[in-house]
Structure 1
Amino acid sequence: MRRFCPRAVEPGELPRIEFWNVLTGAMGNIFMRTVFFFSPFFVYYAKACGFEHQHFGLLSFFMYLTVLFQLCSSHLERTFGNRKKLWLFLVLPGRAIFFWYVVTNLSPNGIIAVLVFGMILSNLADPVWFGWYFDYMPAEMRGRFWSKRTVIVSVGVLLATVLGAFAMWASPEDGKLTVCKWIMGIGVSMGVLDVILHAIFIPVPPKQPNHNHPIGELIIPLRNRKFRKWTLILASWSFATATMGPACLPFIMDDLQLGKNFLTLVFTITVLMFVGVMLGWKQMGQLIDKCGAKPVLLISHFLWALVPLLYYFANPENAVFMIGACFLLCGVFVSAGAANAWEKVKGELTPEDRTMFIAVLTVATTFASALGALLEAWFVHQYGVYNVFLLSLACRCFAFFLFFRLEMNSPQMTVKETIRFWWAGIGNGSHL
């Protein structure tokens, strides 16, 4: 049981820890990309079990609300002596419950119940994992490491998704549901193995228990003016993206008819996104470390704000090009750019308050996403899916301008300087 006890992490251990972090991260992401509601396999399974559009909107709303449980987790993490045991106790049953998909065809309400229960436990575990990660990974290494992790994890997810899509494509029509359930079963197995290996091979540094009152802890982040700005900016953006989020994959598979061929579907939404991550991961990580997170966030979110236009002008004839361009851009500027930059922003939080700050930030943004998903479900019923994309475009344009108010402790280049620096690196063939 020594592997589960807190201990100091030596600098020489970091390469081995990075290896296990990346390997288990790939397994965890394969799990998520097969059984969660943003997976084409899940959409196929859910529709075969009777899911309608309103079920996707309702599911998204409840899934977002489960993030409220992160507040409970952050208090447990700060008062509980052993973070690794706490994380294992929370996340393992949250993964294992998805085996229910494999053994039976659930009703729409049953699918929603399983996902909500799994997400409650996952959200209880997430702040513990992030506090654990930030404590063993030095701040000066996080940008490059997270970018490297993103691309390697993307390779694993890509290979798994392509293999699953090929199995779906090759199976007869009356056997596709069985194949889909096997794919999800393998994904759940990978998720459980991820938890076990993570707990065994990645040490957790010791942390002094904190016995402050939980209500007082909740107020601490809100007293920080800079943090309040972060929360407003991210909550506004999360609301804007959620106003079309639940509609995207059903729209791609049904309205644009890409669901008729799983290989084409996976090429469009997975392979091209992976290509984008490959094109951007190293330069984005180095750009963030050298120029700062703020200019990268501004560039990334400006392009991200334009994504609804690609959906609006898409039709079955140009779907591969329009949706492919969307996911290619998202690979470069969202997965490799914005996500990495926000990890750098979170790294500016003090270690003793980081878990609670991240939990409050996540709860605020996800509650905003829940409201956005609820608005999307109503709006698409009233005005149709194409008008939802215009709604999201308007909301994103408003939210984008709030990013200019983002405050950082570390020096930041301007957007113009960052673009020049980036372009100079591309022009001379260097990696910055």
Structure 2
Amino acid sequence: MSLQPQPSVSEAERDQAMRQVVTEGAFASAATALTSGVILTALALHLGASNLVIGVLASAPFLGQLLQAPAILLVERLRKRKLIAVAGGFTGRAMLALMALAPFLPGDLGIAALVIAQLVLCGMSAVGSCAWNAWMRDLAPDDRLGWVFARRTAYAAAISLVAGIAAAIVLDRTTEGSSWRSIIFGVLYGLGFLAGLVSAWLTSRVPEPAMPPRPEIQLGLVGLLRAPLADQNFRRLTIFLASWQFAINLATPFFTVFIVRQLGFDMTFVMVLSAVSQLSNLVALRNWGALADRFANKSVLLVAAPTYILCIVGMIGASQIPHGPWLIAYLVVLHLFMGLAIAGATLATTSIAMKLSPKGQSTAYVACAGLATAVAAGIAPILGGGFADFFAARQFEVLLRWTSPEGVAIVSPLRLSQWDFYFLISGAIGLYAIHRLTLITESGEIRRREMVEQMIDQTRRTVRNLSTVAGLRTLTYLPATFLREAEIRARFLRRQRLKPKPG
């Protein structure tokens, strides 16, 4: 195992590397699923954290991206992306061991340890990701970017689904605030730490093509960012990504708090909703990946992004429905569509930044977009947590009065309070983000209506497959199917490259 770049990477090595990247993604997603999102919020609530602390924890992944600025200079000067990616990933994952100890520390000390560990974890992950993204841009073939990231994201969704259900079952067997729940959180974060170590080891086994020779004139940070900022199309992409991340992160990190505190459900139900979202995410990824490769990432975003924004605004409807079966059904359906939409949005936003950045300069381009989105997405949840008490003391209500000989009847069809305001504001900002998306140019893009028709056709074929016993049986073979497709695709590409060219 060597952490040094190599002068060239053969096609066979690239094919093997793509499979290793997908496998590594499974362990990375396991570490993430067991230690972030709903699990992290649940741990914070278990420790008695305030809304502001929850907002800081949610903003840490994005504030950590600010370290991409020095990471750009580190990559450009050291020119050893694999070494930086592995070192950053290992250092960050080591913080999961500290987070595993947080439930056993007294009072505010546990919360402080959780916040500090989360900030270090996200910061080191950002440094490693900066090098990793540039590394993958030069390693992965253009015609397989969508395929690789679709498979990698599919594994992430599958692992998150299993981890979420397992965590829900285990947490349901413990009493809220009990020492047993502290033990469960310690075990979850300990397992996440081990999965992170395996992920770092697998990353170290992927070959890195050497970067072009370092120019004699060394550019500072401003010089490196000048090219992406001068590129009008990439600048438009950066503005879209920043506004999009601000919109969704103003409200999304507080879904768990909203469902538990305002709607009155327990944490197990939140885990079930997360599992529903992850399952729909997993089912949709194959279609989104195929459409992104066939047409363009922008076309996928023009369908997925508005759908997700509508789902965020749709959370307001949950507070208008009385607690009962109808509310449960509404939340399940809403999370089903959220999973479908965020699958396409995540896949497309990951790929489009790489696709629009020139080879050999991707470090500066991808990091430029990352810095802008980090500031926007990092500020959003902190503002949300900081203003939680302000909106908690305010309410907007629409009253309808009906006067008749029998008397006066007053009906309130709409009542907004606390987190409802965030969902509404998030929707308004999301509309602006979608407007910015329409200004971006990407080769192969098609109109939104055509993309919707293509997605409907893909969905109909999937539904027809699921309508038979054989189709239902294929669901149990889903992970194996992904592996077989990867192997078949790799063999096909090797045969195509070895086939003698005519003339």
TM-score strictly above 0.5: yes
Query: Does the 8 A contact of 1:28 with 1:191 survive in 2?
Result: yes
- Correspondence for 2:270: 265
Q: In structure 2, give the amino acid aligned to 1:376.
A: G
2:212 matched to 1:179?
no
TM-score by length of 2: 0.79
Please give the TM-score of this superposition, normalised by the length of structure 1: 0.91
- The Cα offsets for residues 312-345 of structure 1, whole Å up to 9 and x where unpaired, read as 111443453333223322322212x122222332
With 1-10 and 235-244 compared, the bigger mean Cα shift is at: 1-10
- Alignment match, 2:123: 120
* Distance in structure 1 (CA, Å) of the matches to 2:383 and 2:175: 38
Q: Quick check: 1:252 aligned with 2:286?
A: no
Aligned to 1:23: 23
User: Do 2:303 and 2:451's aligned partners in 1 also have CA atoms closer than 8 Å?
Assistant: no
> For 1:93 and 1:209, how far apart are their aligned partners in 2?
28
1:217, 1:133 → 2: CA distance? 19
Q: Which amino acid aligns with 1:348?
A: L
- Kindly indicate whether residue 420 of structure 2 is the aligned counterpart of residue 413 of structure 1: no
Distance between the aligned counterparts of 2:114 and 2:456, measured in 1? 47
Secondary structure of residue in 1 paired with 2:8: coil
Report the CA distance between 1:426 and its aligned residue: 4.5
Aligned partner of 2:339 in structure 1 is: 331
Q: Distance in 1 between matches of 2:170 and 2:147?
A: 35
Is 1:188 matched with 2:193? yes
Corresponding letter in the other structure for 1:385: W
Match of 2:210, SS? coil
Q: What code does the residue aligned with 1:237 have?
A: W
* 1:336-355 superposed matches below 5 A: 337-346=344-353, 347-355=355-363
In the TM superposition, 1:38-49 aligns within 5 A as: 38=37, 40-49=38-47
Q: How does 1:292-303 map to 2 (within 5 A)?
A: 292-303=296-307
Please point out which of 283, 290, 299 is paired with 2:287.
283
Pairwise CA distance, 1:417 = 2.1
> CA distance change for structure 1 residues 209 and 254 in 2, over 3 Å: closer, same or farther?
farther
- The alpha-carbon distance between structure 1 residues 405 and 65, as it changes in their structure 2 partners (threshold 3 A), is same
> 1:398 and 1:5 mapped to 2: Cα distance?
42
How far has the Cα of 1:41 moved from its partner?
2.4
Change (3 A) 1:90 1:148: closer
| CA deviation vs aligned residue, 1:224-243 (integer Å, no higher than 9, x gap) | 11111111111111121222
Q: Which is worse superposed, 177-186 or 11-20?
A: 11-20
Q: Shift in Å at residue 194 of structure 1?
A: 0.8
Q: Deviations over 1:203-237 (max 9, x none)?
A: 11111243531221122211111111111111111
- What one-letter code is carried by the residue in structure 2 that aligns with 1:365? T
Which residue of structure 2 lines up, in the alignment, with residue 207 of structure 1? 211
Letter in 1 for 2:189: M
Which structure has more helix as a fraction of its residues? 1
Matched, 1:107 2:113: no
Q: 2:468 is matched with which residue?
A: none
> Larger relative CO (CA 8 A, sep 6+): 1 or 2?
1
AA in 2 matched with 1:76:
L
Q: Secondary structure of 2:209's partner?
A: coil
Give the 3-state SS of the residue equivalent to 1:102 in structure 2. Answer: helix
Correspondence 1:153 to 2:156: yes
Please state how far the C-alpha of 1:4 moved relative to its aligned partner.
Answer: 4.3
**Which range moved further: 55-64 or 361-370?**
55-64
SS of 1:210's equivalent in the other structure is: coil
Number of the residue aligned with 1:218:
225
Residue 365, structure 1, aligned to residue 363, structure 2: no
Distance of 1:57 and 1:3 partners within structure 2: 37
Mind listing any 5+ residue stretches in structure 1 that lack a counterpart? none
d(CA) in 1 for partners of 2:156 and 2:42? 24
Distance change in 2, residues 1:289/1:19 (3 Å):
closer
- Report how far residue 88 of structure 1 moved: 1.9
Aligned with residue 165 of structure 2, among 162, 165, 177: 162
Once the two structures are superposed, residues 167-210 of structure 1 have per-residue CA deviations (whole angstroms, 9 ceiling, x without a partner) of 222345531121121111111111122101221x2111111243
2:53, 2:385 within 8 Å by CA — same for their partners in 1? no
Residue identity opposite 2:287 in structure 1: Q
Q: Which structure has more strand as a fraction of its residues?
A: 2
Residue by residue over 1:14-36, the C-alpha shift from the partner in whole angstroms, topping out at 9 and shown as x without a partner, is 44323321222111112122223
**Structure exhibiting the larger radius of gyration computed from Cα positions:** 2
Matched residue SS, 1:392: helix
CA contact (8 A) 1:78 1:209 kept: no
**Does structure 2 conserve the Cα–Cα contact (< 8 Å) formed by 1:269 and 1:323?**
no
Deviation, structure 1 residue 403: 1.6
- The aligned counterpart of 1:310 is 314
- Contact 1:31–1:187 at 8 Å: present in 2 too? yes
Distance 1:168 1:285 in 2: 34
Amino acid aligned to 1:381: D
Q: Is the 8 A contact 2:22 2:148 kept in 1?
A: no
Structure 1 residues 231, 166: CA separation in 2 closer, same or farther (over 3 Å shift)? same
Query: C-alpha displacement at 1:13, in angstroms?
Result: 2.9
Q: Does the Cα contact within 8 Å between 1:4 and 1:85 map onto a contact in 2? A: yes
Q: Is the alpha carbon distance of 1:392 and 1:2 closer, same or farther for their aligned partners in structure 2, counting shifts above 3 Å?
A: closer
Q: Partner of 2:397 in structure 1?
A: none
CA distance in 2, matches of 1:62, 1:149: 23
Moved more, 311-320 or 388-397: 311-320
Amino acid at match of 1:274: Q
Whether contact under 8 Å (1:60, 1:373) holds in the other structure is yes
Shift of 1:284: 1.2
Is 1:380 matched up with 2:388?
Answer: yes
Partner of 1:67: 65
Post-superposition CA distance 1:117-136 (Å, at most 9, x none): 11111111111111111221
The one-letter amino acid of 2:452's match is: I
How many residue pairs get aligned? The number is 423
**Which residue in the other structure is 2:34 paired with?**
34
* Aligned equivalents of 2:460, 2:48: Cα separation in 1: 53
Give deviations 1:245-302, integer Å, cap 9, x for gaps: 3322222233233334x2x3322112x1232123311221111122222221111111
Matched residue SS, 1:243: helix
